[in-house]
Structure formats: structure tokens, C-alpha cells
Amino acid sequence: MRGVRSIGFVALIAMFLACGGGDGGGGGPTAPPPVPQIAGHWEGVWNASGLLTDVDLFLNQSGSTLTGTFATLGEELQLTGTVTPTLMKWEAISVLPCESITGDAGLLNEAPTMMSGTIDVNATRCPFPDRFAGPVTWRRAASQAKQGRPGRVEDLAAALAERRRLLPHR
């Protein structure tokens, strides 16, 4: 009985190797998908907790590593990040140690002209806690004109305060 199992095992290994060794039938490992090239200037519209806000990314790329700046509401912050074949993630270096600023975007091809994702400005650990988070749609620069949205942090804070004042109390 032991000999029959050994013959069966050898036959199974021979069939496996004859079919290409389990790598899809091809002749060797497949190359990973290329990392999309997203370096350059991106203009976006961010829904910051219900208020539309203009945002810009200025990205430098070396392989899968990103550096650059994130600009919104009159501020420009340094950022670092990564890019994979399907996702871009970044974190801006805030001037406030109690605040984190992060973003991401899905990528659909090797040379995208649009990206959709999220931005989260989390200042809930700050003396005046707040959080602005929501979806963002990015387009390569020069494809969309600015729409006169809040241009400074103070404008956004005032608009949010007014919206909160008008909401019914629960």
C-alpha cells in the first residue's frame, strides 16, 4: 500500500511540473504591476465636513515614494507618502503637534488624470478640538478652475460655526 501512495505522489508531482509548476502555466514569475506615475500638480475639491474647499497637491515621485506639499486654506504643508498600483496615501507635516493630516486616493491606471479619495484633518487632541474630514476629487492641474470656495482656515471655521449655529439642537 505504501508503494502505491508513493507512485501516486510522484505522478502528482510530475503532472504539477508538466503544467508549469503552478505559476499560471507560464515560464517564470510574473512582474508586479507598474506603479502609477502621479508626480505633478493636482487640483482638488474637498468636501470638508460638508463645505467644499479647494485643495492642491504638488507631488514629487521616486518609485513608490512621494514627497511634496499639500495646500489648502492659505496654508502649504510638506507631505510624505507612498503609491502602489492601486492606492496613493500621504501624510502632511502639521505645524500643530496635536493635529494629524492624512489623505488617500484610489488609482485606476498607470497614468491617471483623476483620483478620488479622502482627506482627514484631525485636531481633536488640540486645545480647540475640531475635525474636518470627507471625500476629495483630484484632477491634474489646469483641468478645472477654482470655484471661489473658502480660501483661509478662518473662512472655513467661520462657515462651519455658522452651519452649526443654524442646525437644530438635539
pLDDT tens, residue by residue, 39-83 = 999 999 999 989 999 999 999 999 999 999 999 988 899 999 999
Q: How far apart are CA 103 and CA 109, in angstroms?
A: 19
Which residues in the chain belong to E strands, given as ranges?
40-48, 51-62, 65-72, 75-83, 87-92, 100-106, 114-122, 131-140
pLDDT tens, residue by residue, 109-120 = 888 899 999 999
If you count them, how many residues does the chain have?
170
Looking at 2-11, 104-113, 117-126, 151-160, which range is the least confident one? 2-11
* Model pTM score: 0.68
Per DSSP, the chain holds a count of helices (H) and strands (E) of 2, 8
- pLDDT at position 143 is 43
